[in-house]
Structure 1
Amino acid sequence: MNITNTEEYSNPEKKSLDKLVFRLSAEDGLPPQTIPALHKHWARRENFCTYVGLMTQYGRVKSGVELEEWQYNANLFSKDMNFLLNCHHHEFWSYMVFQKTALAAVVSFLQKSTPFYLNVWSQLVQQKTIIELYEQILELVLRIVCRLITNRESDEAWLTIDHQRELIYKNFLISVPMLFDILMAVGDADAQNTAVLRRIFDSLLRIEPNYKQDLLAALVFFRTAFRSIQTQAENEGFEGAGGGDLDESAETPYDDVALYTLDCAYSLSVLLEVCPTVQSICAEIKLGQSIAQFYDNTVPFLYKNIFLINEAAASLGWINVARLQYLKAFRSIAYSFIESVLAKPAESIIMAEKFIGLLTECLSEQNFVNDYGRLYPVELDVDILKQACKNLDGFKASFIVQGYQQESRPSAQKPNSKMNKKAPSSTKSNNKNEQQANRVSNVTTATTGTPERDIDLEVTSVLDVLPHLGTGFVRRVLSRYENSEEAIAAILEANLPPDLVHADQSEVYIPPDPQDKTYQQTGIRHFNIYDGDKYDVMTQDNPKCIIKQGKGMPNAPKNAAQLLDDKSDLAQYRSRYEAYSLVSEGESSNDEYDDEYDDSYEALLESETRTVRSKQLKAGLANVEDVSNDESEDEEETIEDKVKTDVQSERNKQLNFCENPEDVRARYEARRQAKWNNRNSGGADNHKTRELAGAPKGQGQDKETLRNRDKKEKNKSMRANHNRKAGASFKRSKGMMG
């Protein structure tokens, strides 16, 4: 059956699509047919090209052969979208309703489109045709969506609102997931894009109010998304984690979690900006409190985990931008109350109380309060409320302003996270957002020269006055005041913040477990107080200790024989005495004694030499005179030769520059022996020695032996080994160093 011409599709009576019927003539003599304008007959084409994504993963664009394949597929997809747009009004709706492949093609692009916040076009600077082709496809898909929400194209091509509502909602031509995909594909980077998104949401909510309930379910799902992100941030990298295996192209195991966090942040912020109706829904389900809690707990923890793995990861920049978008989303929810106050004066006091209640509930999230108070000054909002509401509670308003200003004051900051470190940017269009996010991070974590508070000391001061309170409750109160005096006054006057009025005053403070800190630093979970110290071989490659393996100490002797045979210490003594160089240990026997001359002994040696020489001469002469006449001439010649020899040796000694110390010691020893011999001689019997040994044991001893033993016993302490000090002093006086 062939269609005759386009004039047969005219609608001169200007009927709506649900009432319009076309009459078709048939060939071969068959009677003509009448077919409704909305019928599967008009959707003859069954195959439509499915869109293939431009990115590979984690913000990276395809290249090489993959990019050429994408370009070929994108050209085919562009032709299919042009085909749908060029169809007649009834044909277009017939394809959308009856031909599922046409709608699937549109959905495939929205699901695989490049998110606007990544802006990967900086990687395709040299290939402008790729960028132009993608922008052309995005425009075509948006025109198709806009055609779906348009009920009147002309006087002849139109359909009623009720019919349009039924076609769109019951056939799922536009769903809430599809709307979130449109948000990520278009974005709010340009005012024109924001205007297009606002038109889409406004038209849908006007056509079908049930979309409001669908959006409510989608917003409630964000809480589940926050819990999922927190779980993966805590468990990623461990067995059984929900994040899956690490991809080779990922810089850290948390890249997919960080990208999911950024996607949720932009989805919320853009949705709240383009659809004001969603703001009231978020206020009803208390999504603002969930955002503040997620911002304070999960986001810093996720940032810390990524930073510990890779300080230059691109995901750090994603988290910084996500922080800014979460603050922007919370601002949209909070400011909706102020807009309601200005728009509805009759309900101004109720909306003002809701605004103050929202900010009060978020006061416990200090990181969030710090950043929000600096980016969006609360005192300006409170001034607007005071001007619009004369009956506003001044105490609550002042408390909110003071709480956010106090938490925003630089002196109250603590050097918490490393989130002030500027992460590398992965996109070009988001430079402004990243700069704002980094500025928020830098201001949040800035430290000043003021000394830090000693919370433990202040807790002790408060407990001295109010001992019935718990340490945990006291710490929470001190976090709201600058010193312990103000905290004590607030407790006694019952002037505590609203969130602490009904708090448990017996709450006990449980300090953080040191094992958790050790686990974060080392990655090893131990259960010993000495884990992580300088002797821990589990966490250090070179511990400051000796690792003993087997019996004995390292390098120790194995047995007693090896211990006694150890002469390693002799090398130390040998090197020490070799440094003195007192005696030359040469091989030649002609080596002479080489000693440094010391003139301090010159006078002593000279006087001693003269005394010895004079005594020897006198002794020689006496020996000569006492010789009897009956002695032989040989003996006289021997004595004379000896005297002459002694005299000649004395003359030779005078010629020496320094007398040999060996000769000095020999003379001293001779004199000492002569002295002791004379002392022990005992009268005429010069050769008689004192008997001490006596007879063998058991045979008795004579009186002389007993007397000598008794004398020795009484006088032994005067000399010998018991008087070494005197002997040493005598030797030093003679120049004999021992």
Structure 2
Amino acid sequence: MLDNDTSNNNNCNPQKLPLGDLKFAFSGQDGVRRNIPALDEHWVRRGKSFASYVCMMSSYGRLKFGAALEEWTFAASNCRQDMEFLLSLTQHEFWSYMVYEESAMAAVVTFLQRANPFYRQTDASTDKELEQANRLYGELLDLVVRLIMRLCTGEESDSEWISPQQHSSLLYTNYLISVPMLFDLLIAVGDAEPANVELLRQIFDKVLRLQPEYRKDLKEALTFYESAFLSMQIQVENEGCEGAGGGAPLDADLETPYDDVVLYAMDSAYTLRLLLLLCPELLETIEQLRLPQSIANFYDMTVPMLYKNIYMVNPGAQSLRWLNETRQQFLVVFRRVVSLQMEAGRGQQLVEVMQECLSAQAFVVDYQRQFPLEHDMELLVQRCPNIKNYKVDFVVAGYQKALSSCPNGIMADDMVSNVDTEEEDAEFEDEDSSRTSPQPSPTSNGATRDLDLEVTAVLDVLPDLGRGFIRRLLTRYENSEQAIAAILDDNLPPDLAQMDRQEVYVPPDPQDTQQRQTGLRHYNVHDGDRYDVLTRDQPECIIKQGKGLPGAPRNAEQLLDDKRDLKQLKERYQNYAMVEETPLESGEYDDEYDDSYEALNEGQAPPVSLLRARLQGAAFNSAYEAQDEVEDDDEESSEGGSDAEPAKRNNRDFCENPEVIRARYQQRQMAKYGQKSGGQGAGAGAGSSVVGAPKGQGQSQQTQRSRGQKEAHKSSRANHNRKAGAAFKRSKGMMG
């Protein structure tokens, strides 16, 4: 405790020093006088931490009631006292608490994170407790906004002020104000009133002027939206499960698994719209990040998938209305980007963006229906005369064509040619079905309306309505456009306004019409068609009796034992093997030697015993191949001269007679090797000369000469001589 604390004295800063230079003197219990800086942890005297705020809504837009509402009222009252305490402090004490007391700033951030969205306001005029709770919440929100305004204010009086350098450092270094907190402030305050917009603009202007680093943080925050769109798309494709880029807890009180995705998309759309409203200078950053194209793709791919999935799970879910609101906000965001580009004179960039978005047909149709592009392009051409007209005309024509070709845009009058004629079946419908399904009514130009087509068009815009209610509504209006306008403007006739909007349409039973036409009552899905086995003697289908199809195996064993395919192949190739046999007198050859002839090919080398003498005799001849070929030609010519008739081939024969080939081959073998093997050849003579007489009887001079030649040349002309063997094989046509 301080003995002489003068901090609460209004004249404690007579020199009017800034907060960073200001010090206070006091005397402690020990009598020592000290100087304490104005911004110091010493001034944090509160014994308990600041209370944390609890959200007023239980989950997903549903307010608390009963005991839960009483608990919230108690927690909100404590938070209000804490905020009033902070606002009642002097400047140096206030900044000391905000800098050195973590729970003080955490209470402000927690409130903004758990605040009620400005677009989710409820009417509590009938419930007194809820009305008091709303009043308490409004007071608490006002206190938090005042706290943020005080954080942005550097000069409170002549004696209480902070230098701009220290002010910006305190805000940015200690995270007293951050971009996520500013985004939460946008959703908590909103633009429901002009005063709120002006208040938010003052806060943003002060923050961005004090610390330019916040502009960089804003640009980085905008880059997050691309990944946010992708995360929502993945979560929708994974049926809203947790872990696909976020998602609600599995035990949350949800109407559908996609409620969390829809609320996240709606929060993103409102934040972008307010951010562009307060900071138009972010346009260039948005163009660089291609954020308009990302919005168009998200609108075209994810939003219809969300509609379909939610409607299949729960047609009466509240998230369908939220999604419709989200879709409108994204259109407003894109419209704001277009307006800023036109004001800045960025005509070329605008045309390129609109041209790239042409691929998103759903977005193009809705944008053209709500904000006709031709009006903007006329103003753009006037402001930017240098822009090329053919590009503008192309973009305008593309948007107009997308709207005219879409059945959700120009309704049933343009699609009369696709009307389905059902007048013949209408005569057989009973009164109940006729009341449920009105007859096709003529339009003003005499054409017949297709109610099914118009109902589908209305459901594309308002998928939360029932088909029965839409059919009753279309009987009062000429087309679906007028019906949609009446629903959106809440301008329905009194009798239709009191009807159930979820009324289900029960189509007429085709069994009744079939029974009247045929006199038979069936319950087959193919009644009356070519597959009907009850009305047709020969239906165009296979009639099953028991398990499996007719002719199919009954079990796995029978399937594996099926050898019908092999039998068919065997019969087929047996037909190729059938050859007609005729007597030998008719000119056909005898094929009894065909198997033996396979081993006597014409290019095969003769036995080694017949070749050995010739190879040894040709050892001294360097032109072995040429001499061998000449010798073969001479022998063949001599054979041809002696017996030319059997060797002559008839050119008219498709294949030469094997008997003739064998005879010619045997003649050639005998002519080549028969005489030489008898001892008259040079090779044979050389062999016998080398052998000589028996040992001890003396050898002739020729034998000794032959043995010397063999010893001298055995390394080049012995069995290891591969060159001679290869030459012999080439002479016989055996290449390899």
What band does the TM-score fall into relative to the shorter chain? 0.5 to 0.7
Matches of 1:552 and 1:385, distance apart in 2: 70
Amino acid at match of 1:32: R
The structure-2 alpha-carbon separation of the partners of 1:551 and 1:357, relative to structure 1 and needing over 3 Å to count, comes to closer
2:327 to 323, 334, 338: 323
Cα deviation, 1:358-390, whole Å, max 9, x if unaligned, reads 111111111111111222222222222222222
Which residue in the other structure is 1:119 paired with?
121
1:169-248 residue pairs with structure 2 within 5 A? 169-236=172-239, 243=247, 246-247=250-251
Matches of 2:16 and 2:366, distance apart in 1: 59
1:421 to 445, 448, 462: 462
Cα deviation, 1:428-485, whole Å, max 9, x if unaligned, reads xxxxxxxxxx999958x99xxxxxxxxxxxxxxxxxxxxxxxxxxxxxxxxxxxxxxx
Amino acid at match of 1:117: Y
Which residue in the other structure is 2:17 paired with?
15
Matches of 1:25 and 1:124, distance apart in 2: 59
Amino acid at match of 2:324: N
Tell me how far 1:396 sits from its aligned partner: 1.2
Q: Whose relative contact order is higher, 1 or 2, with alpha carbons under 8 Å and at least 6 apart?
A: 1
1:103 to 102, 105, 112: 105
402-411 or 294-303: bigger deviation: 402-411
Tell me how far 1:174 sits from its aligned partner: 0.6
Which residue in the other structure is 1:76 paired with?
78
Whether the 8 Å CA contact 1:269–1:329 is kept in 2: the answer is: yes
The structure-2 alpha-carbon separation of the partners of 1:549 and 1:183, relative to structure 1 and needing over 3 Å to count, comes to farther
Amino acid at match of 1:255: D
Cα deviation, 1:295-338, whole Å, max 9, x if unaligned, reads 11111111111112221110000000000110111111222111
Matches of 1:400 and 1:370, distance apart in 2: 13
State the SS of the aligned residue for 2:58: coil
Which residue in the other structure is 2:567 paired with?
none
Amino acid at match of 1:259: L
Structure 2 gaps of 5+ residues are: 410-455, 466-479, 489-523, 528-533, 536-541, 551-736
Matches of 1:248 and 1:210, distance apart in 2: 39
1:194-343 residue pairs with structure 2 within 5 A? 194-236=197-239, 243=247, 246-247=250-251, 249-341=253-345
Cα deviation, 1:596-649, whole Å, max 9, x if unaligned, reads xxxxxxxxxxxxxxxxxxxxxxxxxxxxxxxxxxxxxxxxxxxxxxxxxxxxxx
The structure-2 alpha-carbon separation of the partners of 1:38 and 1:122, relative to structure 1 and needing over 3 Å to count, comes to same
1:145-160 residue pairs with structure 2 within 5 A? 145-160=148-163
1:143 aligns with 2:146: yes
The structure-2 alpha-carbon separation of the partners of 1:138 and 1:440, relative to structure 1 and needing over 3 Å to count, comes to farther
Matches of 1:21 and 1:439, distance apart in 2: 72
State the SS of the aligned residue for 1:56: strand
Which residue in the other structure is 1:67 paired with?
69
Tell me how far 1:238 sits from its aligned partner: 7.1
1:405 to 400, 403, 426: 400
Matches of 2:128 and 2:363, distance apart in 1: 42
Whether the 8 Å CA contact 2:241–2:257 is kept in 1: the answer is: no
Matches of 1:268 and 1:440, distance apart in 2: 32
Whether the 8 Å CA contact 2:311–2:463 is kept in 1: the answer is: no
Amino acid at match of 2:222: L
Whether the 8 Å CA contact 1:255–1:315 is kept in 2: the answer is: yes
1:712-731 residue pairs with structure 2 within 5 A? none
Matches of 1:395 and 1:218, distance apart in 2: 37
State the SS of the aligned residue for 1:409: helix
Q: Between Structure 1 and Structure 2, how many residues are aligned?
A: 437
Cα deviation, 1:25-76, whole Å, max 9, x if unaligned, reads 3345x13211111111112225111111111111111111111111111111
State the SS of the aligned residue for 1:7: coil
Tell me how far 1:226 sits from its aligned partner: 0.6
Matches of 1:276 and 1:551, distance apart in 2: 71
1:638-657 residue pairs with structure 2 within 5 A? none
Tell me how far 1:277 sits from its aligned partner: 2.4
Tell me how far 1:280 sits from its aligned partner: 2.7
Query: TM-score, structure 1 length as denominator?
Result: 0.55
Matches of 2:324 and 2:82, distance apart in 1: 39
Amino acid at match of 1:216: K
State the SS of the aligned residue for 2:36: strand
The structure-2 alpha-carbon separation of the partners of 1:62 and 1:413, relative to structure 1 and needing over 3 Å to count, comes to closer
Matches of 1:552 and 1:337, distance apart in 2: 68
Cα deviation, 1:141-182, whole Å, max 9, x if unaligned, reads 000001111111111111111111100001100111111111
Which residue in the other structure is 2:168 paired with?
165
132-141 or 283-292: bigger deviation: 283-292
The structure-2 alpha-carbon separation of the partners of 1:547 and 1:164, relative to structure 1 and needing over 3 Å to count, comes to farther
Cα deviation, 1:93-148, whole Å, max 9, x if unaligned, reads 11111111100111110111111112234497432211110000000000000111
Matches of 1:178 and 1:440, distance apart in 2: 44
Amino acid at match of 2:367: Y
2-11 or 285-294: bigger deviation: 2-11
Cα deviation, 1:202-249, whole Å, max 9, x if unaligned, reads 111111111111111111111111111111111116798664565463
Which residue in the other structure is 1:52 paired with?
54
The structure-2 alpha-carbon separation of the partners of 1:156 and 1:395, relative to structure 1 and needing over 3 Å to count, comes to same
Aligned identity (percent) is: 43
Matches of 2:287 and 2:548, distance apart in 1: 73
Matches of 1:440 and 1:375, distance apart in 2: 15
Matches of 1:42 and 1:238, distance apart in 2: 49
Whether the 8 Å CA contact 2:248–2:260 is kept in 1: the answer is: no
Which residue in the other structure is 2:382 paired with?
387
Which residue in the other structure is 2:473 paired with?
none
Matches of 2:242 and 2:214, distance apart in 1: 41
State the SS of the aligned residue for 1:363: helix
The structure-2 alpha-carbon separation of the partners of 1:546 and 1:37, relative to structure 1 and needing over 3 Å to count, comes to farther
Matches of 2:75 and 2:66, distance apart in 1: 15
Matches of 1:549 and 1:416, distance apart in 2: 47
Which residue in the other structure is 1:369 paired with?
364
Amino acid at match of 2:119: Y
Which residue in the other structure is 1:356 paired with?
351
State the SS of the aligned residue for 2:460: coil
Whether the 8 Å CA contact 2:272–2:333 is kept in 1: the answer is: yes
Whether the 8 Å CA contact 2:407–2:457 is kept in 1: the answer is: no
Amino acid at match of 1:63: F
Matches of 1:240 and 1:411, distance apart in 2: 36
Tell me how far 1:547 sits from its aligned partner: 9.3
Whether the 8 Å CA contact 1:300–1:417 is kept in 2: the answer is: no
Matches of 1:535 and 1:241, distance apart in 2: 43
Structure 1 gaps of 5+ residues are: 342-350, 425-437, 447-532, 537-542, 554-738
1:448-527 residue pairs with structure 2 within 5 A? none
Whether the 8 Å CA contact 2:55–2:114 is kept in 1: the answer is: yes
Matches of 2:151 and 2:60, distance apart in 1: 33
Matches of 2:113 and 2:544, distance apart in 1: 60
Whether the 8 Å CA contact 1:280–1:336 is kept in 2: the answer is: no
